[in-house]
Each structure stands twice: as C-alpha cells, then as structure tokens.
Amino acid sequence: MTENVTIVENIHQSNDQIAERNQQQLQAAGVFSLNFMASPGAGKTSLIERTLHTMKDSFNIAVVDGDVASSIDADRAAKAGATAVQINTGGSCHVDANMLHSALAELTLEDFDLLLVENVGNLICPASFKLGTDKNVLIASVPEGDDKPYKYPKMYQDVDALVINKIDLMPYIDFDMAYFQKGVEILSPDLLSFPISCKTEEGMDAWLAWLEEEIKHRS
C-alpha cells in the first residue's frame, strides 16, 4: 500500500511541475485561460460555442478539446470560430498537464487572448490534475440532478467558478435550486455562480461580462 501511495504522489508531483510551466508560458504570452470540467452532456461544448459566438470578433480565442476519442468537439469549436487543437487521451479519464503542454506547442500563444480547455467529461478524475490554467470552471446542469455537490464534493471545492446550465428546463425537471446551492455553499461559500441556458441565452450576459473583464485584466 505504501508503494502505491508513493507512486500516486510522484504522478501528481510531476504533473504539478508541468502545470506550473504551462501557467508561466500562458502568462508570459498574456493569455487568460480556463479549464472547463463537467459530466458528459452538461454543456461544455455548447457553452464554448455560445462564448465564441459573442466574443470571437473582439478577442482571439483558442480551444483545446480533450476527449477519449474522436475530434467532434474540436470540430464544433473550429466551426464556431476558434483555433482548435484536439487531445485524444487514449482512454484516460482526464486531461493532464503534460497533454496540455503538448497542445500548447501547436499554438502561437502570443496570437491569442483567451484559451478554453475542454476537459474529459466526468466529475472525478479532472479535479485531481492541475493543468496550469488561470481558472477552473465547473459546468453543472439541471438534468443531472440537485444532489451533485453532495456526491462529488472535491469537484465543487476545487473550482473558481460554477456555471449552472440548462435552467430553461427548470419547469420540467424536479430540480431544487435552493438545495443544490446550499450544497455548493457548504463546500465553497464564495464560489462565483452563473445560472444560464445555452439554448435560450438566459444568464449569458453575466457570464460573458465576467469573462471579458478577466481577459482585459490579464492584458
């Protein structure tokens, strides 16, 4: 058991060192960066598309898409106006710092204002691996249920902002927003939250205003 613990510690230590280099590289280039994490179907790609639709004429945006297989999400990001790089994790349940480091080498970072990293869809593995981005953003969605902060506490503790997507479905799904938010507040009392609908664009103005301010602050 001790050997297993040592191996895990070494993996995380090595990952964190590469993440620090990624952060230094991004900051030196003046790029503001976000790591999007969520369960499958919560709306990571939809949020990226909506963000690109509004901001692509004002800012140069790159997207790094992490998936177990395929380039579907990267293709969608490119179609929406981003410079997109695909990471296929080969079965791994998360993007790690070394994967992102390789993806950054495919980009001329000085050409960009914003980098969006779309992590692999699940609520466990991505929380344990730093990438070197400025912020970690968790996207939750109404159809997932209101119990997720209670069932996946580490994910909700280790993020800088929370997007609650698909609020247009609230009238049709048994989702107790007060119960959900109570769970979030227990874990992270000051967590910045954005209730939105990528479908109807409700709440998107607040999300985009925050993001624009963060980009301008970096530049």
Checking if the pLDDT of 219 tops 70, the result is no
Model pLDDT for residues 107-149, shown as the tens digit of each residue: 999 999 999 999 999 999 999 999 999 999 999 999 999 999 9
Residue 4, pLDDT score: 52
CATH number of the domain where residue 106 is located:
3.40.50.300
Q: What is the rounded CA–CA span in Å between residue 56 and residue 122?
A: 28
Q: What is the rounded CA–CA span in Å between residue 161 and residue 214?
A: 12
What mean pLDDT is reported for the chain? 94
Buried b / exposed e across 13-37, counting CB within 10 Å, b at 16+?
eebeebbeebbebbeebebbbbbbb
Q: Is the distance from CB of 103 to CB of 64 less than 8 angstroms?
A: yes
User: Per the structure, how many domains does the chain have?
Assistant: 1
Give Cβ neighbours of residue 125 (< 8 Å, ≥ 6 apart).
Answer: 92, 93, 94
Q: Is the distance from CB of 70 to CB of 40 less than 8 angstroms?
A: no
Model pLDDT for residues 11-40, shown as the tens digit of each residue: 789 999 999 999 999 999 999 999 999 999
Residue 9, pLDDT score: 66
Model pLDDT for residues 169-195, shown as the tens digit of each residue: 999 999 999 999 999 999 999 999 999
Q: Of 63, 70, 127, give the one whose Cα is nearest residue 95.
A: 127
pTM for this model (two decimals): 0.93
Checking if the pLDDT of 203 tops 90, the result is yes
Per DSSP, the residues of 116-166 read EEE--S-SSGGGG-----SEEEEEEEGGG-TTHHHH-HHHHHS-SEEEEE-
Domain extent for 212: 2-218
